[in-house]
Amino acid sequence: MMRFDTDWFKEISDTLTRNKSRSLLTGFGIFWGIFMLLAMMGGGNGLKDLLSSNFRGFATNSGFVVADLTSKPYKGFRKGRAWNLTLKDIEKLDQMIPELDVVTPLIADWGQNAVRGEREVQCYVSGVRADYVSVMEPRLRYGRYINNIDVSQKRHVCVIGKKIYNDLFPEGGDPCGQMIQIRGSYFRVAGVDFNAGNVSIGGPADETVILPISIVSSLLNRGNAIDLICMTAKPGKKISAVQGRIREIIARDHYIDPTDEAAIQMLDAEEIFSIVDNLFKGVNILVWLIGLGTLLAGAIGVSNIMMVTVKERTTEIGIRRAIGATPRMILTQIMSESVSLTILAGVLGILFSVFVLNIAELASTQDGILQAHFQIGFWPAVVVLLLLTVLGLLAGLAPATRAMNIKPVDAIRDE
């Protein structure tokens, strides 16, 4: 019996030649489906990184408390009363709520000017303690951050943001040890924070000058009053679980109704991060649905092409059956052509999507630092290839079954 030899490359070439327009259209459909799927996956990851970069440095388990006018009368005090958070509130929260890891104060002063020689730039001023790094982590390019000795000894040192550094030190280089002037006082630069986050409690990180809180309190004559209480929860704990107790402790000392949420305003950063994560989980599901739908349409196109191919090659298949080709050989031939067409278009789609996503990554690079990861990983690409193989097999199943059922006598009669 004559052995039936299958040549994958020749067969797929014959298929493409016989049905050039349909093959190109279907191949483009698979190519576009793969590109859309991977591009949207990579784009979704990149957009998530870009959005997260606005919160870069923020502790995901952080919370903040700010004082505002009271909206309810309480114990003889009228509503609309102004009040201030104090350092005493920091001590009580730290002692009475063990779920909190770090409780630290912040004093903010907006609309100041930082001056160096003839150069001047508007800035935000934030007075913090050394443990503020647990709430907002800096990305130091030069020098160091504020430490406990700076606070206790009221040292005139500062950490400046990226924009302030670029404006006051256009010559570049390490500015540590040089002096700048704020509110008529001189401060020695101790560090430069290149944190590019656009969201900050005291102002944009790149436009902020960080000073020891003891110095800012003296400059502004604030005494024990502070603007914000910043805190982080211990691992496994949530700020939202202790918000009620935080309100009660603060309200008791300041004669405020514990239910007055307008007076004691709280921000839970964990809720914000949870919203962002859930948003992109939904986006990823939508991406997969759209991509899989496009791929399924392409697979149906491949199946239709193979059906037309089998019909046009009825006589050829019948002759091969007559000279010894088994049904299994015919099945292998048709299935291999289907898988080859699918994988060929899919691999081209993967390569093109990798190229486009690489350009997107290059465009998101700033100061030599990659801001967002658009590129897909290795395993997602492997999963897509396996998916393409399965779709190719399914697309070729019906045409292959039809080809196996062709009898030599019927093929000759059809001719």
Considering the domain boundaries, does residue 372 fall inside one?
yes
Considering the domain boundaries, does residue 78 fall inside one?
no
Q: Predicted confidence band at 3 (pLDDT cuts at 50, 70, 90)?
A: very low
Q: Output the pLDDT for position 210.
A: 94
Q: pLDDT tens for residues 261-318?
A: 899 999 888 777 777 778 777 877 877 777 777 777 767 766 776 676 666 666 666 6
Range with lowest mean pLDDT among 197-201, 352-356, 371-375, 394-398: 197-201
Considering the domain boundaries, does residue 62 fall inside one?
no
Q: Are residues 409 and 304 in the same domain?
A: yes
Q: Predicted confidence band at 23 (pLDDT cuts at 50, 70, 90)?
A: low
Q: Are residues 214 and 340 in the same domain?
A: no
Q: Are residues 410 and 286 in the same domain?
A: yes
Range with lowest mean pLDDT among 145-154, 263-272, 292-301, 382-391: 292-301
Mean pLDDT of the region 88-117: 91
Considering the domain boundaries, does residue 31 fall inside one?
yes
Considering the domain boundaries, does residue 249 fall inside one?
no
Considering the domain boundaries, does residue 89 fall inside one?
no
Final residue belonging to a domain, choices 220, 236, 262: 220
More confident: 253 or 330: 253
Q: Output the pLDDT for position 392.
A: 72
**Which pTM does this prediction carry?**
0.68
Q: Output the pLDDT for position 2.
A: 37
Q: Are residues 207 and 292 in the same domain?
A: no
pLDDT above 90: residue 407: no
Final residue belonging to a domain, choices 198, 220, 242: 220
Q: Are residues 410 and 310 in the same domain?
A: yes
How many independent structural domains does the chain possess?
Answer: 2
Long-range contacts of 347-353 (CB under 8 A, 24+ apart): 347/385, 348/31, 349/30, 349/31, 349/32, 349/33, 349/34, 349/35, 349/38, 350/34, 350/38, 350/381, 350/384, 350/385, 352/31, 352/35, 353/34, 353/35, 353/38, 353/39, 353/42
Q: Predicted confidence band at 95 (pLDDT cuts at 50, 70, 90)?
A: very high
Domain range for residue 133? 103-220
Q: How far apart are the C-alpha atoms of 51 and 278, rounded to whole Å?
A: 13
Query: What is the average pLDDT value for the chain, to the nearest integer?
Result: 80
Considering the domain boundaries, does residue 161 fall inside one?
yes
For residue 156, give the DSSP letter: -
Considering the domain boundaries, does residue 227 fall inside one?
no
Q: How far apart are the C-alpha atoms of 203 and 299, rounded to whole Å?
A: 53
Q: Are residues 313 and 407 in the same domain?
A: yes
pLDDT above 80: residue 364: no
